[in-house]
C-alpha cells in the first residue's frame, strides 16, 4: 500500500500522482483513502485536476462505498463544471445494476446538466449497455437537445452514437442519420460506423 502516505499528505500534486498510479495500475484496497482524500481535496476550489483524478480512481477501483458521497457531491454547485462529468461517469459505473444506472441517467436528463448527462452516457458506452427498446427511445429523446458546441465538447449523443452499433438499428437509424448532419466530423464518422454495425475507432472513454 505504497500510496497511502501520499493520499494522506494534503498535497494536491502528491494526491493526484497517487490517484493516477492507482487508476493506471488498477490497484485495489485504496477505497477508504481515496474517499478521504476526495473529501479534503473537494474543499480546494483550484484543485479540480486532483479532484477529477480521485473520482476516476474511485470508479476504477470499484469503490461502491463511495456512492453516497458521490451522489451528494453531484447535487452541489461547482465552479469547475468538468467535475459533473467525472461524477456522472463514476456514479453510473458504480451503480449495482444496469437498471439502477439507467435510472441515474434519466434523473440526470431531467436535471438538465449536460456534463452530468455526458458522464452517464460515457458510462453506457464504457459498459456497452444494451437497454430495452423502450429505454433506448427514452434515451434518444432525452439527449437530442444537447448539441451546443459539438466538437468543441463531446455531447451526450456522441457517446450514444458510439455505442449504438450494438443496439437495434430500427430504433437508432433516424438518430444516427441526424448525427451524420453534425458539424463535427468525428460524430459523422462514429454515426456512419454504427449504421454499418461497426465499432468506431474514435475513442471517447
Average pLDDT of the chain, as a whole number: 95
Q: What is the largest CA-CA distance in the chain?
A: 54
Q: What is the pLDDT of residue 100?
A: 84
pLDDT of residue 185 exceeding 90, the answer is: yes
Asked whether the beta carbons of 16 and 34 are under 8 A apart, the reply is: no
In a domain, 124, yes or no: no
In a domain, 86, yes or no: yes
68 lies in which domain range? Answer: 1-94
In a domain, 121, yes or no: no
In a domain, 14, yes or no: yes
Q: What is the pLDDT of residue 96?
A: 79
Confidence class of residue 181 from pLDDT cuts 50, 70 and 90? Answer: very high
In a domain, 17, yes or no: yes
Q: What is the pTM of this model?
A: 0.93
Confidence class of residue 5 from pLDDT cuts 50, 70 and 90? Answer: very high
Query: What are 119-167's pLDDT values in tens digits?
Result: 999 999 999 999 999 999 999 999 999 999 999 999 999 999 999 999 9
**DSSP category for residue 9:** S
Number of domains in the chain: 1
In a domain, 10, yes or no: yes
Query: What are 62-76's pLDDT values in tens digits?
Result: 999 999 999 999 999
C-alpha 143/C-alpha 109 separation (Å) is: 7
Q: What is the pLDDT of residue 99?
A: 81
Residue 29 φ/ψ region, left for φ over 0, alpha for ψ in the -120 to 50 degree band, beta for the rest: left
In a domain, 18, yes or no: yes
In a domain, 21, yes or no: yes
pLDDT of residue 12 exceeding 80, the answer is: yes
**Across residues 69-95, what is the average pLDDT?**
95
Residue 83 CB neighbour total at 10 angstroms:
21
Amino acid at each position: 500500500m505504497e500510496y497511502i502516505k501520499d493520499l494522506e499528505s494534503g498535497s494536491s500534486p502528491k494526491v493526484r500522482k497517487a490517484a493516477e498510479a492507482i487508476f493506471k495500475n488498477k490497484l485495489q484496497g485504496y477505497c477508504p483513502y481515496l474517499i478521504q482524500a476526495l473529501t479534503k481535496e473537494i474543499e480546494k476550489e483550484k484543485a479540480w485536476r486532483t479532484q477529477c483524478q480521485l473520482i476516476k480512481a474511485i470508479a476504477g477501483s470499484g469503490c461502491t462505498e463511495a456512492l453516497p458521497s458521490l451522489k451528494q457531491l453531484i447535487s452541489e454547485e461547482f465552479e469547475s463544471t468538468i467535475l459533473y462529468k467525472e461524477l456522472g461517469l463514476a456514479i453510473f459505473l458504480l451503480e449495482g445494476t444496469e437498471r439502477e444506472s439507467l435510472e441515474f441517467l434519466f434523473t440526470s436528463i431531467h436535471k438538465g446538466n449536460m456534463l452530468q448527462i455526458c458522464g452517464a452516457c460515457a458510462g453506457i458506452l464504457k459498459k456497452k449497455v444494451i437497454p430495452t427498446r423502450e429505454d433506448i427511445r427514452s434515451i434518444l429523446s432525452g439527449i437530442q437537445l444537447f448539441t451546443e458546441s459539438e466538437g468543441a465538447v463531446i455531447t451526450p449523443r456522441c457517446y450514444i452514437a458510439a455505442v449504438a452499433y450494438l443496439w437495434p438499428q430500427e430504433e437508432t437509424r433516424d438518430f444516427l442519420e441526424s448525427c451524420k448532419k453534425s458539424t463535427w466530423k468525428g460524430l459523422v464518422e462514429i454515426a456512419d460506423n454504427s449504421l454499418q454495425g461497426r465499432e468506431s475507432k474514435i475513442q471517447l472513454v
